[in-house]
Amino acid sequence: MIQAGVVGATGYAGAELCRLLTGHPEAELAAVSSVSFEGKALSDVYPSYYKICDKVCGTQEEVVEKSDVIFAALPHGLSQELAAACDAKGKAFIDLGADFRLENEKDYEEWYGNSFAHPELHRKAVYGLPELFREQIRGKKLIANPGCYTTAVPLALYPALEAGLIEKDGIIADCKSGVTGAGRKMTQNTHYPELNEAFTAYKVAAHRHTPEMEQTLSKAAGSPVTLTFVPHLLPVNRGILATCYARLKPGVTEGQIRATYEMRYAGETFLRLLPKGRVADIKNVWYTNYCDLSLHLDQRAGIFIAISAIDNMVKGAAGQAVQNMNLSFGIEETAGLMLVPPAF
């Protein structure tokens, strides 16, 4: 059994990791830590785990000590030192934060206000989006796990850009996220009566996931891509729906597009390309690691529309992290993740 530890276990991504690891057939939740709840059982914070996962929160050091792989579900900026400590001890490290996601330090400085503390670790780090970069991830011990938007949008657009079917400029990602994406920390706009029955956009064209998505899409395109990204907050717990728009290159047909995506994603367990006529819906991937993807064409306007749906806490965080662990340790990629999305 892989001994797996979670640092930041009482945040939402951390708690979701504990849920998935508890049910993993080849891994075991070895230790958890939390600054806010040290000494408390996880089930004191999340009573749904009572008698199932009553592990007591210890320190970050204890987690590193007891684990073969350390998952860090920490606020951005706190992972670099922890990664160094794990690296020094030869432990695998999977970061759910943003510290190792951007290859270009300038982007990191501009959007996060931080610099690279250990440039050599950044060179070691791989970007953990298995459907796009699987071979680079296998066996690696320092993995930057993408965030939610940065999983949903690239999965929707990568094949079309890679195959040169769409224009590289003017791409728009209109995204809608469930509230858990904002974390467990209370804010006035996630206070129940203020969000319930509400719907709005936030950080319009100014969200710091933008450069990360551009980094991935630019790889697909082979040259820099600029993305207009507008996130919205949905009054639901889980899920991201990314509605992505791009201008079709002249002469490209629907058949070409569909064939391209089918080929690119052939054999992918967690990427479900929907048949024509269906539209991706967040409810169909709830609580699981699936990404549903539907393709549409506005023939009248010459616009390609790709709609992807993920559970932001699973494929957009904890599930993908487990998928990366599986790749890192060379076990079945889907281990612990073959959950059936509930129908309602």
Chain positions 161 to 190 lying near a copy of itself, rule: CB under 8 A, are 169-170, 172, 174, 176, 178-180, 184, 186-188, 190
Does 266 bind a copy of itself (CB under 8 A)? Our answer is no
| Closest distance of CB 227 from a copy of itself, Å | 7
User: 3 with 68: CB under 8 angstroms?
Assistant: yes
Contacts to a copy of itself from residues 34-93, by CB under 8 A: 46-53
Pick between residue 9 and residue 31 the one whose CB is nearest to a copy of itself. Answer: 9
| Closest distance of CB 87 from a copy of itself, Å | 30
- From residue 237, alpha-carbon distances to 39, 190, 222, 261 in Å are 28, 11, 36, 29
Which of residues 135, 196, 223, 251 is near a copy of itself by CB under 8 A? 196
| Piece of 55-63, 114-122, 141-149, 192-200 that binds a copy of itself (CB under 8 A) | 192-200
Pick between residue 88 and residue 343 the one whose CB is nearest to a copy of itself. Answer: 343
Does 267 bind a copy of itself (CB under 8 A)? Our answer is no
| Closest distance of CB 174 from a copy of itself, Å | 4
Does 301 bind a copy of itself (CB under 8 A)? Our answer is yes
Catalytic residue among 18, 148, 175, 291: 148
Is residue 291 flagged as an active site residue?
no
| Closest distance of CB 125 from a copy of itself, Å | 26
Does 283 bind a copy of itself (CB under 8 A)? Our answer is yes
Long-range contacts of 210-215 (CB under 8 A, 24+ apart): 210/111, 211/102, 211/104, 211/107, 211/110, 211/111, 212/98, 212/101, 212/102, 212/146, 212/147, 212/150, 213/149, 213/150, 213/153, 213/154, 213/173, 215/101, 215/102, 215/103, 215/104, 215/107
Does 209 bind a copy of itself (CB under 8 A)? Our answer is no
Which of residues 75, 81, 113, 202 is near a copy of itself by CB under 8 A? 202
| Closest distance of CB 119 from a copy of itself, Å | 26
User: 160 with 253: CB under 8 angstroms?
Assistant: no
Contacts to a copy of itself from residues 234-253, by CB under 8 A: 234-239, 241, 243, 245, 247
Amino acid identity of 12? Y
User: 55 with 4: CB under 8 angstroms?
Assistant: no
* Rounded Cα gap, residues 234 and 200, in angstroms: 8
Q: Among candidates 138, 118, 116, which has minimal Cα distance to 126? A: 138
* Rounded Cα gap, residues 15 and 6, in angstroms: 9
Which of residues 282, 293, 325, 337 is near a copy of itself by CB under 8 A? 282
| Closest distance of CB 96 from a copy of itself, Å | 16
- Give the CB-side neighbour count of residue 78, counting CA atoms within 13 A: 11
Does 200 bind a copy of itself (CB under 8 A)? Our answer is yes
Pick between residue 1 and residue 89 the one whose CB is nearest to a copy of itself. Answer: 1
* Rounded Cα gap, residues 185 and 200, in angstroms: 19
Active site members: 148
